[in-house]
Structure 1
C-alpha cells in the first residue's frame, strides 16, 4: 500500500514496482475515477463519498485476491488512518503479508510537481485542480495521524527521490522471497 499526498510519487513507484515484479498488479483509484468520469459521469455523485469508485475498486481487489496469485499494490492516497487500518487488517486476515510505503516528501517539491506536471484532472471530483487538492491535504496534516511501522508487516518511508530505487529493490525482494 502506498500512502502520501498528491504528486508525491505513489503511482510512479507502483508502476515501476509492477514492471520489476511480474506477478504484481497496481490497483490505482485514479484509474477507476478516470474511467467513471469518462464513461459513467452521470453515476458519479457530486457530493459525499464516491461510493461507485470505492465499490469498483473493491470488486477489482476482491477479484485479484480470489481469482489470481498476484501481488497487489493498493495505490492511492490512503491517508485516512481508519480506512487504511481497515484495508490492511482485512489483508492480514486473508493471510497476506502487508507492506506500507509512506511518501513523506517535502511540501515544496509537491508544489513544484503540481505546477510543472500537467496531470489529467478528470480524476478530480471535489476539487478544480491538483493545487487545490494539495492545499486541502496540507491543511489535513494537522488532523490526521501519519502512518507508522506498527500498521504493516513491513514499513518504508520515502522522503527523497533518490530513495525510490532502493525502496523498490527492497519491496521487490520481499515480494519475490
Structure 2
C-alpha cells in the first residue's frame, strides 16, 4: 500500500528495517542511546560497534536525548548514509502527553533527514514494543505526524521523495496498510 502527498510517496512494508533499500533509517532508541532490544538491538547488531561508539560520543556531549528528540550517527556496517535515533515515549495510560511526544519523534527525525538532504527514509514502529504504546494509536499518530509534515512543506523545498514505514510485526503492517489510505 502506498499514497502520494506533495510528490512524496508514503508506503508500508513488512520486514526487517536493516534490510530496507534506501538512504537512511530511523531507530527507536532509548534515552541513553544504548543498543537495547527490538529494532534498536537489531540496528546496533547489524551496524556494528561504530554506531555504539558514536552514540557514546553523543552521550558524552549532551547526556543522551530526551523523548521526542533525534540524533544522527553513521550506519556503521549497514548500507545507509546514517541512522537517526529517536526516543519514543513510554506509555503511561495516555494522560502524560505520550501521543504528542511520539509525534515529535517523527517531526524531529524528518527535520534531521531533511537537513541532510535525505531523499528516502524508513521508520520503524516507535514505542510499540517494550514501551507499550498501543499499536493502533501509535500508527495513527505516526501517519498523522508524517502526513502533516509533508503537507506543510513546499514540495520544491522538501528533499524527501520516499518515506516508508517498515513494520517487523505482521499486526503493525496490517494496521499501517489499513490506515494509510486515510491520509492521501
TM-score (norm: length of structure 1): 0.35
Larger radius of gyration: 1
Hey, which of these two has a bigger chunk of helix by percent? 1
